[in-house]
Amino acid sequence: MDVVGTWTGRTACLLQEAMRMTNEAFGERLGISPRTITRWHQAPEMVHRTEVQQILDTAYEQAGEAVQRRFALLMRPAEPRMEAQALRVAIAVVLRGDEVLLVCRRGDGELRWQFPAGMVKPGTDPATTAVQETHGETGVHCAVREYLGERIHPVTGVIAEYHLCDYLAGDTSNRDPVENVDVAWVPRATVTRFIPHSQIYPPILNVLEVAA
């Protein structure tokens, strides 16, 4: 049996909860008015005077093993809640002169051209993910020039974060043949032949200067 060092409004009310009693029943058990019990609920940090401490000690000791187990569970600090994180993808729009880098990805029985992208792991910088995934998929080294913004992707429904990148070095090659079919540099002016105009994030269209 755990020992309660100091009874407060909160711990007294937890004992009441463990005993599954109403204010009236708990007050009758302790010999205290229900109105006083109500005040305990309203002032969880209050420390009871010595005679009430003794009354609560006696009530707890006489409560029985089942009540004492429930009380011990209620007294445990609440575990921190893990918040679910939305899926976030970092996308690299890599420019080399008048060309932009695309990959052709397999998916749902069809092929789709898109900009290099990768899932952002919790605690990872999206810009770093964009650069690393571009190299991992295509063999191209790039550097982020500008953050273009983010949106809910109209096809996948994930949070898509876009980064404008400059080509640094590397020959293109399909380094992820399981996911991708091809990698290519395409002229900026022809990008909508590969990706539907309606699916391209407007700031990207502005950068590529693609007419609607």
Distance of CA 183 to the CA centre of its chain: 32
Residue-level pLDDT at 75: 85
Query: Which residue would you say has higher pLDDT here, 172 or 108?
Result: 172
Distances (CA, A) of 165 to 7, 21, 127, 188: 62, 65, 10, 14
Q: What mean pLDDT, rounded, does the chain reach?
A: 89
Tell me the average pLDDT across 166-180: 92
Residue-level pLDDT at 111: 86
Per-residue pLDDT tens for 41-99?
A: 988 888 988 999 999 999 999 988 899 998 988 888 765 555 556 789 999 999 999 99
Q: Residue 14 carries which side chain, given as an amino acid letter?
A: L
Percent of the residues in the chain that have a pLDDT greater than 90, as a whole number: 63
CA distance linking residue 3 with residue 46, whole number of Å: 19
Query: Which residue would you say has higher pLDDT here, 82 or 165?
Result: 165
Does position 150 have pLDDT exceeding 80, yes or no? yes
Residue-level pLDDT at 31: 92
Contact criterion met (CB below 8 Å) for 90 and 127:
yes
CA distance linking residue 89 with residue 117, whole number of Å: 7
- Give the model's confidence band at 212: pLDDT under 50 very low, under 70 low, under 90 confident, else very high: very low
Residue-level pLDDT at 78: 61
Q: How many residues does the chain have?
A: 212
Residue-level pLDDT at 174: 94
Q: How many CB atoms are closer than 10 A to CB 38? A: 12
Query: Token digits for 19?
Result: 């005993």
Q: Residue 94 carries which side chain, given as an amino acid letter?
A: V
Residues 6+ apart with CB under 8 A from 198: 154
Buried b (16+ CB within 10 A) or exposed e, 61-88: eebeeebbebbeeeeeeeeeeeeeeeeb
Q: Residue 13 carries which side chain, given as an amino acid letter?
A: C
Query: Token digits for 40?
Result: 């305990």
Beta strands in 31-76 (DSSP E): none
Range with the lowest mean pLDDT among 9-13, 95-99, 106-110, 205-209? Answer: 106-110
Query: What superfamily in CATH does domain 88-208 come from?
Result: Nucleoside Triphosphate Pyrophosphohydrolase (3.90.79.10)
> What are the domain boundaries of the chain?
9-75, 88-208
Per-residue pLDDT tens for 183-196?
A: 999 999 999 999 99
- Give the model's confidence band at 122: pLDDT under 50 very low, under 70 low, under 90 confident, else very high: confident
Residue-level pLDDT at 79: 59
Beta strands in the chain (DSSP E): 88-96, 99-107, 110-114, 117-119, 141-152, 159-169, 180-187
Contact criterion met (CB below 8 Å) for 145 and 186:
no
